[in-house]
Amino acid sequence: MYAAGVTCSNCHEPHSLQLRSNSDGVCSQCHLPEKFAQVDHHLHPVNSSGARCVNCHMPSKNYMQVDSRRDHSFRIPRPDLSDKLNTPNACLSCHQEQTNQWATDVLRRKFGAPDKSHYGEALHAGFFQAIDGEKKLSQLITDSTQPAIARATAVTLLPQYFTRHSAQLLQAIAQGNEPLLSLALAQSLDRVPAQFRPALGIPLLFERERITRSLAANALGSLPLNNYPGPVQKQFYTALKEYTASELFNSDRPESLVNLGELHRQRGNSSQAEVFFGEQLRVPPVMSLPT
Ligand code: HEC
Ligand code: HEC
Ligand code: HEC
Ligand code: HEC
């Protein structure tokens, strides 16, 4: 829906966050109730809990143990993938006594087999380093009809399959102009073999987003860049300063102190590294809240 231009304020009054209508009413602003608010679509008695749009397309999940939130990715339930990918689905969250196969059969009888492969299959293959992972991730990344956030996740998984083919694709991303994909490449650049890293990382130093520039500089930090043209070196040092500034800003956290120590270690500044690692040992691992 985001790709089609739907945004927060279509459903929420932006100042109060109140829904613009009762929860199924917000959906029927765009999706005809004559088509979707029907037993023929949702298979449940009208006005029952199983008939509410949000219960199938925005199932809720507890965050931080106490905060139940509805899923804003507005997915279609795919019980047929649950056994294969070990994923939850809305049907079984209510029908706890049933199996994924049961829900799959119900939907197949009604709607036929789902016609599309799902990006979850490619991401699963990448997470578990499946043999066909490179192919599936590459297909997802190059399919611009898929959500950018899913394609970007695939980019973070691709460097573990570093081949001539994946290197070409990563190079196209480094030189392309899709900010989320560039960020994902910067995040996973340290998994690219060192001799190929500058070719992918240098274009990222010139991105508009500070986070992308600074993560790329960090991943290039251990490599000699002296042979590169002056403007590249200048841009590298600028981005590296942005990286250290953001880590210093967060240096009340042990993670940031470790990152700074590691950067200095990789650049051969042992005494500086020791300072940050030492300081990190003094920060308690669990932050205590003010009483
Ligand atoms: C298509 C409709 C729709 C869109 C678009 C949408 N929301 Fe929601 N949102 C809902 C519904 C429905 C709920 C559930 C309300 C309830 O359970 O009472 C909800 C709940 C919430 C909540 C409350 C969570 C909680 O449990 O306290 C927040 C915060 C929120 N949305 C933020 C956003 C933001 C930010 C965006 C844009 C990025 C957005 N929503 C886009 C429909 C939408
Ligand atoms: C402002 C208009 C608007 C509102 C409000 C809206 N939708 Fe959508 N929705 C769309 C558009 C546009 C699409 C994309 C249609 C397409 O690509 O064919 C879509 C697609 C979908 C899809 C298909 C997603 C997919 O992966 O193929 C689902 C499911 C969905 N909406 C559910 C909901 C639910 C549930 C609500 C209410 C909480 C809601 N929508 C509210 C406009 C809206
Ligand atoms: C019991 C679960 C359930 C409920 C409740 C439900 N849906 Fe769906 N919805 C589905 C399933 C399953 C599909 C996929 C159907 C298919 O494969 O053709 C779907 C598909 C959709 C799509 C995508 C259609 C397309 O052609 O791509 C939209 C939009 C949608 N639902 C909107 C709604 C709205 C609006 C409501 C509330 C009035 C609603 N749904 C209630 C299960 C449900
Ligand atoms: C919010 C909870 C909820 C969700 C989500 C839900 N159901 Fe149901 N479902 C029910 C309840 C409750 C009944 C019993 C009928 C009634 O009184 O509403 C039911 C009845 C049914 C029935 C008919 C009775 C039976 O057990 O054979 C089928 C089939 C069914 N659901 C399939 C599904 C499928 C498939 C999905 C996912 C696409 C789904 N349901 C999602 C709550 C839910």
pLDDT in tens, 56-100: 999 999 998 899 999 999 999 999 999 999 999 999 999 999 999
**Of the residues 211, 228, 261, the one at which a domain ends:** 211
Instruction: Give the residue-averaged pLDDT of 10-29.
Output: 94
Of 94, 108, 110, best ligand 4 pocket probe by most atoms within 8 Å of the beta carbon: 94
Look at residue 205 and tell me whether its pLDDT is greater than 60: yes
pLDDT digit string, tens, across residues 92-116? 999 999 999 999 999 999 999 987 7
Q: How far is the CA of 240 from the centre of ligand 2 (A)?
A: 42
Atom of ligand 2 nearest to the CA of 29: 5
Tell whether 40 is covered by a domain: yes
Look at residue 212 and tell me whether its pLDDT is greater than 90: yes
Shared-domain flag, residues 142 and 152? yes
Cβ neighbours for 275, distance < 8 A, ≥ 6 positions apart: 261
* Claim: this prediction has a pTM higher than 0.75: yes
User: What would the two tokens of residue 162 be?
Assistant: 């570093």
Closest-CA residue, ligand 2 atom 39, reads 27
What percent of the chain has pLDDT above 70?
98
Instruction: Give the residue-averaged pLDDT of 219-233.
Output: 92
Shared-domain flag, residues 61 and 23? yes
Identify the band that residue 283 occupies on the pLDDT scale cut at 50, 70 and 90.
confident
Tell whether 198 is covered by a domain: yes
Q: Residue 42 has what pLDDT?
A: 97
Q: Is the CB of 114 under 6 A from ligand 2?
A: no
Identify the band that residue 291 occupies on the pLDDT scale cut at 50, 70 and 90.
low
Query: Domain span at residue 90?
Result: 77-112
Look at residue 166 and tell me whether its pLDDT is greater than 90: yes
Identify the band that residue 22 occupies on the pLDDT scale cut at 50, 70 and 90.
confident
Shared-domain flag, residues 69 and 131? no
Comparing 123 with 228, the larger pLDDT belongs to: 123
Cβ neighbours for 119, distance < 8 A, ≥ 6 positions apart: 140, 146, 147, 150, 151, 154
Q: How far is the CA of 12 from the centre of ligand 1 (A)?
A: 7
Q: Is the CB of 36 under 6 A from ligand 3?
A: yes
Q: How far is the CA of 136 from the centre of ligand 2 (A)?
A: 26
Count up the domains in the chain and report the number. Answer: 3
Query: What is the separation of C-alpha 207 from the centre of its chain, rounded to a whole number of angstroms?
Result: 19
Instruction: Give the residue-averaged pLDDT of 3-8.
Output: 94
Tell whether 15 is covered by a domain: yes
The single-letter code of the amino acid at 230 is G
Q: Is the CB of 76 under 6 A from ligand 3?
A: yes
Identify the band that residue 282 occupies on the pLDDT scale cut at 50, 70 and 90.
confident
Comparing 285 with 188, the larger pLDDT belongs to: 188
Identify the band that residue 285 occupies on the pLDDT scale cut at 50, 70 and 90.
low
Q: Is the CB of 35 under 6 A from ligand 1?
A: no
Q: Is the CB of 192 under 6 A from ligand 3?
A: no
Tell whether 126 is covered by a domain: yes
Shared-domain flag, residues 51 and 103? no
Buried b (16+ CB within 10 A) or exposed e, 244-257: bebbeeebeebebb
